[in-house]
Amino acid sequence: MPTALITGATAGIGAAFARRLAADGFSLVLVSRDEARLAETADRLKQRYGVAVEILPADLATDQGLEDVEARVRDGVDFLVNNAGFGHPGRFLEVPVEEERRMLKVHCEAVLRLTLAALPGMRSRGRGAVINVASVAAFFNRGTYSASKAWVVNFSESVAMEVDDPKIRIMALCPGFVRTEFHQRASMDVSGIPGFMWLKADDVVNEAMRDLARGKLVSIPDLRYKLVVAVGRLVPRRVAQQVSNTLGRR
């Protein structure tokens, strides 16, 4: 039975990936900081899908946590989902530098190291997949968050081109606003976001899996956000920035 490891696996997009991959017959390794919540999530998945579920409590913002997950990935995973991430409620000049460094550790260093840990085994087995969860914000300018997600997109495309193996899929997933705990945890006021702009996590994951099967390097779920990104690339960057500021945190 193939194995999938998912970071940030207890809520939102990570939990949706866990459900989808369990339904597809994968054994799971779930990574999150909250051990109690990991155990509850694992029990639900075992009961519903009858798959093996391993839990690995780890904080990817710490060296020890990252090393622990890195070691487990090297032991062998067939599908890696780098989903762990978070946002800041304040603008760039309002955020302490240690929090910015923590974001780069989770969004960039963890994605780099876990992807690098997974690929040798995937190449030796002649199969595998890596999905790095980025954001539509990667195509706009919104402080360290969007900059880190832009790095995830570029990194994923670059690695996919270097690996150059149709049996090993590497893709960046760039969702828009998704109904998860993300904004609440970051203490962001999203009351100004229109209801039609929100996506469901399960829909995002299902479209991501379709795009992965098609060999896409970047997945932007839902036509609404495909249009947002397309228009954002056509209009002057300052105009796109103003629109992003209007739709972003208040």
Active site residues: 145
For residue 129, which of 121, 137, 140 has the smallest C-alpha distance?
Answer: 121
Tokens of 60: 């990817």
For residue 205, which of 119, 118, 110, 81 has the smallest C-alpha distance?
Answer: 81
Q: Are 225 and 136 in contact (CB under 8 A)?
A: yes
Phi-psi region of 201 (alpha: psi -120 to 50; beta: other; left: phi over 0): alpha
CA distances from 207 to 109, 135, 175, 213, 220 (A): 26, 14, 10, 10, 9
Calculate helix-pair angle for 201-213, 12-23, nearest 10 degrees. 60
Cα distance between the two ends of the chain: 46
